[in-house]
Structure 1
Amino acid sequence: MATHLSLDGITKSYGSRAVLDSLRFDVAPGRLTGFVGGNGAGKTTTMRIILGVLAADAGTVSINGAPATAADRQLFGYMPEERGLYPKMKVLEQVVYLARLHGFSKADATERATALLTELGLGERLDDKIEALSLGNQQRAQIAAALVHDPEVLILDEPFSGLDPLAVDVVAGVLQTRAAQGAAILFSSHQLDVVERLCDDLIIIADGTIRAAGPRADLRAEHSAPRWELQSTSDVGWLRTEPGVTVIDFEAGDAIFDVDHDDTAQRVLRRALADGAVSHFAPQRPTLAQIFKEVIR
């Protein structure tokens, strides 16, 4: 059964300081949900409440519509931002140990751990001690520890921290595979370019409140200015005097411009096609970084 994680009205305060204020969002099975916000925004507190490590003052964490239980949370995988592996243990030994805590036999745990560590690029480091690994490889081992029992819900706090671009691609591929197999994945990251490339859904949090949430494409469309890009084989200098058009950037046949209405954009396209070949004409979508800056103001 696919596992759907929901938060409804999650509130948390420390004394008079409100940390989370009525958080509501979903993490759907088979989808990667990016969770972004500045330092102190409330991401880690939210994750710890999902895991049951912290208690909310109000609100409910639900699995498939019912309040999450300790048994439900046995099906979770968690990777904390701070590394929690035993530095003196060997890599394979460590991940096998964690798999056995979830009830796997030694043989099954060894097979699963070996396959997963190899998938993450640590196949030649199985007998090395954790402390002998680079920080990036320690991060890969930490991810293996979170995944080894095939969790139905994955909660990952900064999984790409300390990884070089190649390692980011490896880890991203592993997470995409787990999502394709039906896991519900919530991950936080300060690397907005990675989140933008990887996530299906996005949650932006600031000062303990959700500022934006939804499918990535929908949020980009929602926060798009009426801005267009045009690439033509002919000079489009006529755009500067076109009614309803404000040119933002221009060079020969290439232009970026704002319009007062979608009909104006279509009029521009017809004019450009009449003058020459058009190789590109499309709305300019904002980056995640631009959306983030807009919604946290």
Structure 2
Amino acid sequence: MRRPPRPPSPQGRGFSRNTERPPAGEARRGPPAEATPGGMLWLHGLHSVAAALANPARRLRRLLLTSDAHKEISARLPPPWRIQPELAERAHFAAFLPEDSVHQGAALLVEALEPLDIHDAIDAGPGPILVLDQVTDPRNVGAILRSAAAFGASAVVMQDRHAPPETGALARAASGALELVPMIRVVNLARALDELKKHDCWVVGLDGTAPTTLAQAGLAGRRVALVLGAEGEGMRRLTREGCDELARLPISDRMESLNVSAAAAVALYELGRM
């Protein structure tokens, strides 16, 4: 016997109700994990999901939305989209997202972005390139991507190891910028700096002990690759030696340093004024 047709969704056509099967990657026992088998991940939050829907390079697998989230994203990015959304209750998201996820009723299962190399950073545009030396906190990397998009940086370069993977938490912190700014991973950061120099990038390491401030470094008219080290330890020796010069931000003596994502934002703003 055939089932009767489903009643129309309150959001209109193309919006089905998810009641029968758990999302791909759902953990049936134990806490949910952000990564799923096959190199896929769940993005969550209105900004992250809307940006991924608008990114033609992003491969989409499954979209779950509450009714309110569907209205919000539709206002930002009018349908039709490349994937049909499924209606889900807010409580259902806890089954496949980490407990502390601020998902806002939106989750999108995607494939990881295609890997890029250092030449993609060079060719991405005229803006500065950010180079991260062992910045491991995904929230910091996400915030740096957000500042990079806001202030016109062309790419963010980091190591393949000692750097966070592409996750929903990183994308949430980036507030959509993961889809806008190329994030490039390299095996050897020192070799990447050498390659940037060969293509007329002036490599500046941000160091709180440098005698010269970023504004005093005479960078107007140059394409800058700005290197930021991990909080506490700063840049490693080989990374520091690979810089053309070191510069600092002029902060008050009352504070020893800035959070690395805050330093990136201030430095990018300063570069934009030159």
The structure with the greater share of residues assigned to helix is 1
The structure with the greater share of residues assigned to strand is 1
TM-score category of the 2 structures, normalised to the smaller one = under 0.3
TM-score between both structures, scaled by the size of structure 2:
0.23
